[in-house]
A and B are shown apart, each in its own frame.
Chain A
Amino acid sequence: MSAGRPPARYRPPSLWPRPWMGPVVSAAALAFLAWNAASLEVDPARVARGLARVRDVAARAVPPDFGRLDLLGAGVLESVEIATLSTLFGVLLGLPVAVLAARTVVPLPVYAVGRAVVALGRTFHELIVAILFVKAVGFGPLAGVLTLTVNSVGFFSKLLAEEIERMDRGQIEAVRATGANPVQVLLYGVLPQVLPRIVGLTVYQWDIHLRQSTIIGIVGAGGIGATLYNAFARYDFDFALAILLVIVLIVLAGEAVSALARQRVQ
């Protein structure tokens, strides 16, 4: 160290390898943003006209029309059925996939296959999968159940696999040391550690499916979404608002159930 007073100012070293890079990159990012805004041709007049139309739609939607209860009820019931069945199938398929996709419990080649399945399940948005299944098995809830099942295998097994990888190895080792076979190790060493997560994920998955089932109906995969789409298409905005309100209720109910379930299993 050289003699004299230590410096009275300190700045952490720059993240950029050269000092001029920071301003240049900032300027480029700003230019890109400006170009984006310009090419979208955001037209104030159109925004104003659109706002007027939103007012019109809103006025025609109030009060919500709960008159067609049979249609509403059937749609809601179908959505709940789609969500529940696809969660059940998704979890049943997702459990073994999660074990296969956990690096710490299976050999590398098996892990590669497991991860590939997970990645495949997560590649496409549920709307695209729904369109495929509607083409394959026709309009209706079956397409919805298949869509969301595929969708959940990716989601559920990815998150569960990560939980399995985070487990305490010592507990597993102790169960192995008793002479337990691999399935018994899963039952007594792995399952107790990941059970709260399985329950939490299942309820969360159901919650997500409930919301997704309202969307995939729009492309013909059954549920309340189809009813909602038809209501919009016929300009029945008051009925559409009723449907939206019911969807809010279902999602809130799902949230409450999920909170309760997670509280019980800790």
Chain B
Amino acid sequence: MLEVSGLTKTYPTGDRALRGVTFTVDRPEAVFVIGPSGAGKSTLLRCINRLVEPDAGVVRLAGVEVTRLAGRALREARRAMGMIFQEFNLVERLTVMENVLSGRLGYVTTWQAWRRRFPPEDVEAAFRTLARVGLEGFEHKRADELSGGQRQRVGIARALVQRPKILLVDEPTSSLDPRTAEAVMRLIVELAAEDGIPALVNMHDVPLARAFARRILGLNAGRIVYDGPVEGLTEDVLERIYGDAGRPVEAPA
């Protein structure tokens, strides 16, 4: 499904975010990427759908080499990847339904988008998806009227309505309280499973990742230092991933 190999990214600031990341997701499972802040988790997701341009390496989704595409072909690859964001990134002044329908932008013409005329089957799918995330009847609400948990549900609906081949999920719960975080995480994992698609989930909250993950990718300083089942996440492994950051810092005497 998703093959990533040798992915490298150095920012103009000299920050080496990714140093040759290689892994494969070959079945519809939730893969959790954990690692300290600055390990390159966000960059990794954004290099996969090329919101950030990688310097080197190959990304292949369902056989298509995403890293070679440009223009329309790249946008068609992008619409096959649903992205969910830490800060929800809803367009605040649009209604819930407009936000969900914006997930179909990759499928409609600019003229249709301008007139807000989405094909009837798209609108139907959007309403159904809204119901799936538990927001039936919210279509007319403006995004900025919603609570954090509701916003993220809209974000999930927007990603799912793309009919993606994979979900790219960037710290989906960091802006939420623990209870809502768990509910949202459960929703993402369950809906991805229902649709039979994998989800690549960045997460700094290790206990939450443990609760939902089968497979863990440990990222440290732009390199994958662990790739395996959640059961293998021992103290040793955690220290490899988090290094000193994993241990409480003692004040020097």
**Chain A residues within 8 Å of B, Cβ to Cβ:** 168, 170-171, 173-181, 183-184, 187-189, 192-193, 195-196
Question: Which B71-88 residues have C-beta < 8 A from chain A?
Answer: 72, 75-81, 83, 85, 87
**With A170-B89, A178-B103, A179-B76 already in contact, 18 other A-B pairs whose C-beta atoms are closer than 8 Å:** A171-B89, A171-B91, A174-B83, A174-B89, A174-B91, A176-B51, A177-B81, A178-B78, A178-B79, A178-B83, A179-B107, A179-B162, A180-B102, A180-B105, A181-B110, A188-B94, A192-B92, A195-B93
Which residues of chain B have C-beta atoms less than 8 A from A183's C-beta?
Answer: 110, 113
27 contacts between A and B (CB under 8 A): A168-B89, A168-B92, A170-B87, A170-B89, A171-B90, A171-B92, A174-B102, A174-B158, A175-B91, A176-B51, A177-B81, A177-B168, A178-B102, A178-B104, A178-B105, A179-B77, A179-B106, A181-B110, A183-B113, A184-B105, A184-B110, A187-B110, A188-B98, A188-B113, A189-B91, A192-B93, A195-B93
A193 to B99, CA, bound (A): 13
Which residues of chain B have C-beta atoms less than 8 A from A195's C-beta?
Answer: 93
Q: Do A179 and B79 contact each other (CB < 8 Å), given the known contacts A184-B105, A188-B102, A188-B105?
A: yes
**Chain B residues within 8 Å of A, Cβ to Cβ:** 49, 51, 72, 75-81, 83, 85, 87, 89-94, 98, 102-107, 110, 113-114, 155, 158, 162, 168
Which residues of chain B have C-beta atoms less than 8 A from A196's C-beta?
Answer: 93
**Which residue of A168, A177, A187 contacts B113 across the interface (Cβ within 8 Å)?**
A187
**Would you call A184 and B113 a contact (CB within 8 A)?**
yes
Nearest-CB residue, chain B, relative to A193: B93
**Would you call A173 and B51 a contact (CB within 8 A)?**
yes
**Would you call A177 and B83 a contact (CB within 8 A)?**
yes
Nearest-CB residue, chain A, relative to B110: A183
Shortest Cβ-Cβ A-B pairs, 5 listed = A179-B106, A179-B79, A174-B89, A180-B105, A170-B89
A171 to B83, CA, bound (A): 12
**Which residue of A170, A176, A178 contacts B162 across the interface (Cβ within 8 Å)?**
A178
**Which residue of B75, B91, B92, B168 contacts A179 across the interface (Cβ within 8 Å)?**
B75
**Which residue of B83, B91, B98 contacts A193 across the interface (Cβ within 8 Å)?**
B91
Nearest-CB residue, chain B, relative to A176: B51
**Cβ distance A84 to chain B, nearest Cβ, rounded Å:** 25
A195 to B93, CA, bound (A): 9
A177 to B110, CA, bound (A): 16
**Would you call A180 and B94 a contact (CB within 8 A)?**
no
A130 to B75, CA, bound (A): 48
